[in-house]
């Protein structure tokens, strides 16, 4: 029985051993994570491990460019240029790859494998997002000790300057939470290590060291920023302190006012993990990469990403789903028959609207992030009326969309479920949901931004054409 194979997918090293997970589980019925403890008595910190990986990855990229630099990744059509660049293969994004059939994979690990293998809190069953961040940065499953150290480091860096607190406190309650979020993140740029180092003329080979510090600072401070916004807009404005010996999700739940509910803390751990990264072509990820490529620091780049995430076609989608379900409940009742639900879905389509939460630009099966949330709901809230409606839609909508014939992927995506779970635990403020999405997305986009600077990626500058030039290019050619 072979426990390892050489992967054709190279990741953070000249070569990569990939675990034969089914065989490993037969030989080691405990967890794969425990095996990492065999290799070192003192676990390395994230920065120490990253310092080892950077020169290896730099050499790997040089080799790839030397051997394959002139090869084509595919053709670009006029339709792609007019169609939001969908299908154009033109970005490098190390942390995750979206497979049309299997869904998102983080360095070859599926959602289910991450839920199984990533370290968990002593009182929990869902993966800690700190572990997912370690995986995104290094391509490796961390030990529990390494994740605990990362949790402690996030807590130690979590304080925000008093002037940023004042800035958030002065925002009117009528200003959208995402606008406040972007504003506060931009203000945190005041203390950017990268911006200060660049002004002093630091060697470009050291850019990533300062950007790493900014990324760690920014991720660490987001619970305080996001929590303060929530407390000001929806509660009493009082912000409880971060607990230095608790994990990232627990502290965010505490600031929001929900840490007494163990199941909500577990949901937040799952939510922050599965929403963290989804390739590099989505709006928030690409915006971070684009703005960062100009050597803007992580605070400026991520603030720009949040403005993209705030759009109805990106991060606002989960609240659109909740509103649509509530409207459906108001029209047809809380316990409708399948036939009644089917009729309502058809009426939505016939009115020229879409069914929110269904379909995806890349996926051609049910989003595994949806499935993970559904598994959570079946365990923790199987009899909740809203969850029952979501389950009915899960069984009905794909068939209707298939019959309708205008949707390539009729299956539910992550947004079709997340809002209903938050509603169940009492976080009912729908305008705030995208803020939670933003906290999660920081883990994915900032992990890649670290590597962008470590690998010396240049400023993005794709070529653009005008419609007149396209017409001229193909004049006289046969159709």
Tens digits of pLDDT across the chain (479 residues): 444 444 444 444 433 444 454 444 444 444 444 444 444 468 899 999 999 999 999 999 999 999 999 999 999 999 999 999 988 999 999 999 988 888 899 999 999 999 999 999 999 999 999 999 999 999 999 999 999 999 999 999 999 999 999 999 999 999 999 999 999 999 999 999 999 999 999 999 999 999 999 999 999 999 999 999 999 999 999 999 999 999 999 999 999 999 999 999 999 999 999 999 999 999 999 999 999 999 999 999 999 999 999 998 888 888 889 999 999 999 999 999 999 999 999 999 999 998 998 877 677 788 999 999 999 999 999 999 999 999 999 999 999 998 998 777 888 989 889 999 999 999 999 999 999 999 999 999 999 999 999 999 999 999 999 999 999 999 877 66
pLDDT confidence of residue 25: 46
The partner residues of 358 in beta bridges, in order of sequence, read 412
Q: Cα–Cα distance between 226 and 185 in angstroms, integer?
A: 10
Q: Give, in order, the Cα–Cα distances in Å from 422 to each of 61, 230, 253, 383, 429.
A: 42, 14, 12, 15, 9
pLDDT confidence of residue 41: 63
Read off φ and ψ for residue 121, nearest 5 degrees: -70, 155
Chain-centroid distance of CA 9 in Å reads 22
pLDDT confidence of residue 293: 98
Half-sphere exposure of 449 (CA within 13 A, CB side): 36
pLDDT confidence of residue 48: 97
Q: Cα–Cα distance between 279 and 276 in angstroms, integer?
A: 10
Chain-centroid distance of CA 161 in Å reads 26
Q: Give, in order, the Cα–Cα distances in Å from 277 to each of 49, 306, 369, 413.
A: 21, 14, 11, 14
Tracing tokens 């205008």 back to the chain, one arrives at 406
Tracing tokens 């609207």 back to the chain, one arrives at 353
Nearest to 462 by CA among 141, 160, 134, 91: 91
Read off φ and ψ for residue 435, nearest 5 degrees: -65, -45
For residue 367, the SS3 value is coil
Q: Over the stretch 227-248, which tens digit does the pLDDT of each residue have?
A: 999 999 999 999 999 999 999 9
Half-sphere exposure of 324 (CA within 13 A, CB side): 24
pLDDT confidence of residue 103: 87
Residues assigned a catalytic role: 314, 360, 415
Kindly report the pTM of this predicted structure.
0.90
Strand order in the sheet with 103-106: 96-99, 103-106, 109-110
User: CA angle at residue 259 from 168 to 146, to 5 degrees?
Assistant: 90
Which residues 6+ apart lie within 8 Å of 16 measured at CB? 6, 7, 9, 10, 139
pLDDT confidence of residue 476: 75
Instruction: State whether the Cα torsion 377-379-384-385 is positive or negative.
Output: positive
Q: Over the stretch 191-222, which tens digit does the pLDDT of each residue have?
A: 999 999 999 999 999 999 999 999 999 999 99
pLDDT confidence of residue 132: 98
């Amino acid at each position: 029985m072979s426990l390892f194979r050489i992967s054709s997918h190279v990741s953070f090293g000249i070569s990569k051993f990939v675990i034969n997970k089914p065989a490993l589980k037969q030989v080691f019925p405990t967890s794969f994570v425990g095996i990492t403890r065999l290799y070192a008595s003192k676990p390395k910190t994230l920065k120490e491990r990253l310092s080892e990986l950077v020169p290896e990855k730099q050499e790997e990229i040089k080799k790839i460019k030397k051997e394959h630099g002139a090869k084509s990744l595919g053709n670009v059509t006029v339709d792609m240029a007019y169609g939001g660049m969908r299908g154009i293969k033109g970005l490098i994004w190390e942390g995750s790859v979206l497979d049309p059939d299997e869904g998102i994979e983080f360095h070859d690990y599926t959602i289910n494998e991450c839920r199984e293998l990533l370290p968990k809190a002593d009182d929990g069953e869902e993966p800690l997002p700190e572990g997912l961040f370690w995986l995104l940065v290094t391509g490796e499953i961390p030990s529990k000790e390494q994740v605990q150290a990362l949790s402690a480091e996030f807590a130690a860096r979590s304080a925000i300057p008093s002037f940023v607190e004042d800035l958030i406190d002065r925002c009117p309650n009528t200003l959208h939470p995402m606008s406040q979020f972007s504003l506060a993140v931009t203000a945190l740029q005041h203390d950017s290590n990268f911006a200060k180092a660049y002004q002093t003329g630091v060697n470009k080979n050291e850019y990533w060291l300062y950007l790493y510090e900014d990324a760690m600072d920014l991720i660490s401070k987001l619970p305080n920023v996001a929590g303060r916004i929530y407390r000001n807009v929806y509660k009493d404005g009082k912000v409880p302190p971060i607990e230095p010996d608790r994990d990232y999700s627990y502290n965010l739940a505490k600031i929001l006012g929900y840490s007494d509910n163990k199941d909500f803390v577990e949901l937040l751990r799952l939510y922050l993990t599965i929403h963290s990264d989804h390739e590099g072509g989505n709006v928030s990820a690409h915006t971070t990469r684009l703005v960062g490529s100009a050597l803007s620091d992580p605070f400026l780049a991520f603030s720009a990403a949040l403005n993209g995430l705030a759009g109805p076609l990106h991060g606002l989608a989960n609240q659109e789903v909740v509103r649509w379900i509530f409207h459906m409940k108001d029209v047809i009742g809380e316990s409708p028959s399948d036939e009644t639900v089917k009729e309502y879905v058809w009426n939505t389509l016939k009115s020229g609207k879409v069914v929110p939460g269904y379909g995806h630009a890349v996926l051609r099966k049910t989003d595994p992030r949806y499935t993970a949330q559904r598994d959570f709901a079946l365990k923790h809230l199987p009899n909740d009326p809203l969850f029952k409606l979501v389950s009915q839609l899960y069984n009905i909508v794909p068939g209707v969309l298939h019959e309708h014939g205008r949707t390539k992927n009729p299956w539910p995506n992550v947004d079709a479920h997340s809002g209903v779970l938050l509603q169940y635990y009492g976080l009912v403020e729908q305008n705030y949901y995208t803020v939670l999405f933003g906290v999660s997305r920081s883990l994915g986009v900032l992990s890649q931004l670290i590597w962008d600077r470590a690998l010396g990626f240049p400023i993005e500058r794709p070529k653009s054409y005008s419609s007149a030039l396209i017409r001229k290019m193909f004049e006289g050619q046969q159709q």
